[in-house]
Amino acid sequence: MPRVSIIIPTYNNAQFLPSTLESVFQQTYQDYEIIVIDDGSTDNTREVLTPYQSKIRYLFQENQERSAARNYGLTVAQGELIAFLDSDDLWLPQKLERQVKVMDEYPEVVLVFSQAYFINPEGQPTAFCGDWIDGKPAEGIEIRSFFEDFAQGNVVYGGGSTSLVRREALNKAGNFDIHITHGEDWDLWWRLSALGPFAYIPEPLIYYRVFGWKKLLQRQSTEKALQEHLYVIEKNLGHMPEEIKNHLLPLAQCHMTVLAALGSYQLGEFERAKTFLKRIGEIDPEWVSPQRIMWLAVDRAKIIEKDTGSYDEAIHFIRAMFQNLPSDIQLPGSFLHKAIGWLYISGAFEQHVRKDTQKIRQLLWKGLPHVPGALLNRGVLSMSVEAILGQTLANTFRNLIGKRHA
C-alpha cells in the first residue's frame, strides 16, 4: 500500500498535464500513487494520459468542479498521507521527501505546506500580485496553530499544491465542500486547522502557475465570490465560543469584503466597490475611518506598482478610489496627498533594503512634499539623512542627536 496518495483533478488542461506528471515522477520520494480525476474535459486529456496508464490511476466524471473531483479521488486513495496537485502546477524534486520527513518527525502536525515559485502559462518565472514568491519568509520550519490566521484568508500557499495532509485528519474534518467554488480549499484547511498545528516550510517546493492578476480580481471581486467567502467564515466561526467568535468574525468579514472592494476599484467597478465599503462600515466603522481607508489604498497601490512597475498606475488607482468613495466616508483632500506621499516613501524603504541611494533620493523627493510630516517618523528621518549625507555622516548625525537627548 502506498504511503502517499497524490490527487490531481484536471479539466481541459491537457497541455500542462505531461509536465505536471513528470514533476511527480522525478520526486526523490517514491512511495506514492497518482490518481488523476478528469472532471469532464472536452479537450484531448484522455489521449494525453494514455502513455501514462501504467503509472497512474485515471478516473473520469461528468463536469462537477474541482471540489467534487478531489473528493472522488479521496474515495479511492489508499495512502495515509494525501497530497493535492493542480494539473497545471509543478513540484520540485524534493517536495514530497521534505514534507514526509516533517510528518514523521512531528506526529502532531495535521498539514504541512511550503512556499511556491510563480510561473506564467509558458512556464517562465513571473511575478504575481507584485511578488515573485508565494509565501512569507520565516526562520526554519514553523509549527503552530494557524486557526486565527485563516480569518484573514487562505494561508496555505500555492493554491493547495504545496500541501500534504494526514488522511486521518481529513476523515475527521470532512472533504471539500462541493457547494463552494471560491475558496473551497481555504474552507477545508481552516477546518483542518481546528484539529491541530500546521507545519510551514519557508522554502519554495513547487511552481505555481498563474494566469494574470486580472483573472484573480474578476473571480475575487464578484458578489457571488464574496457571499461564498462569507459563508466559509460563518461556517468555520459560527459555532465557536463567543469570545473567539466576537474577536475573529468581524475581522474576517471585514477583511474579505475589503478584498472585494479593492478588487472592484481596480477593475473600475466603482458602484460595486461603494456597496462593499458600505457593508464594511456596517460591520465595523473603524475599518472605514479616513486613516484606515488611506492605508488600504496605499497598500493596494504598492502591489499595483510592484506588479506593473509604474507609480503612475498606482497613483491612478489611489485617485480613482478616493474620487469614488461612498458619500458618507468622503476623505479630506489632504488624505489624497498623504496617500501618494506614503506610496513613494514606502518605495524608498524598499530601495533602502537594496541600498540603492539614488532611487531612495528620487522617491523621497517625490514623496516628502506630499507628506512633510513623515519626517517626524524616526525611520523616515534616518533614511532621509543617510540618503543625503551618506552612511558615515549619517551615523555621526545620529550620534550627535543621541547625545543631545541623553
Please list, in sequence order, all residues whose beta carbon lies within 8 angstroms of the beta carbon of residue 320, skipping any fewer than 6 positions away.
265, 268, 270
Please list, in sequence order, all residues whose beta carbon lies within 8 angstroms of the beta carbon of residue 345, skipping any fewer than 6 positions away.
363, 364, 367, 368, 371, 374, 380
Q: What average pLDDT score do residues 306-313 get? A: 92
Which pLDDT score is estimated for 389?
A: 63
- Note whether 98 and 4 are within 8 A (CB): no
Residues of the chain with CATH 3.90.550.10: 4-211
Quote the CA–CA distance of 345 and 381 in Å, as a whole number: 11
pLDDT in tens, 208-253: 999 877 878 888 899 999 999 999 999 999 989 999 999 999 999 9
Grid-cell match 495515509, residue found: 80
Q: What average pLDDT score do residues 186-205 get? A: 97
3-state secondary structure 95-120: HHHHHHHHHHHCCCCCEEEEEEEEEC
pLDDT in tens, 128-162: 888 899 999 999 999 999 999 999 999 999 989 99
Which pLDDT score is estimated for 395?
A: 53
**H/E element, 82:** strand 81-84
| Percentage of the residues of the chain whose pLDDT score is greater than 90 | 77
Quote the CA–CA distance of 253 and 370 in Å, as a whole number: 33
Least confident of 156-170, 187-201, 378-392: 378-392
Which pLDDT score is estimated for 212?
A: 79
Please list, in sequence order, all residues whose beta carbon lies within 8 angstroms of the beta carbon of residue 41, skipping any fewer than 6 positions away.
10, 11, 12, 13, 14
Which pLDDT score is estimated for 206?
A: 98
Which pLDDT score is estimated for 226?
A: 94
User: How is residue 181 written as a grid cell?
Assistant: 467554488
Q: What average pLDDT score do residues 310-327 get? A: 95
What are the Cα distances from residue 274, in Å, to 199, 250, 270, 281? 39, 19, 6, 11
Across 291-295, 375-379, 397-401, the highest mean pLDDT is recorded for: 291-295
Is the pLDDT at 398 greater than 60? The verdict is: no
As a whole number, the mean pLDDT across the chain is 92
Please list, in sequence order, all residues whose beta carbon lies within 8 angstroms of the beta carbon of residue 353, skipping any fewer than 6 positions away.
none
Q: What average pLDDT score do residues 335-357 get? A: 91
- Write out the DSSP string of 256-291: HHHHHHHHHHHHT-HHHHHHHHHHHHHH-GGGGSHH
Which pLDDT score is estimated for 397?
A: 46
Which pLDDT score is estimated for 223?
A: 94
Q: Which CATH architecture has domain 4-211?
A: Alpha-Beta Complex (3.90)
pLDDT in tens, 65-98: 889 999 999 999 999 999 999 999 999 999 999 9
- Whose CA is closest to 373, among 362, 381, 383? 381
Is the pLDDT at 405 greater than 60? The verdict is: no
Q: What average pLDDT score do residues 321-343 get? A: 91
Which pLDDT score is estimated for 391?
A: 55
Which pLDDT score is estimated for 84?
A: 98
Quote the CA–CA distance of 385 and 11 in Å, as a whole number: 56
Instruction: Outline where DSSP puts E strands in 184-226.
Output: 198-209
Least confident of 8-12, 165-169, 239-243, 295-299: 239-243
Instruction: Outline where DSSP puts E strands in 175-329.
Output: 198-209
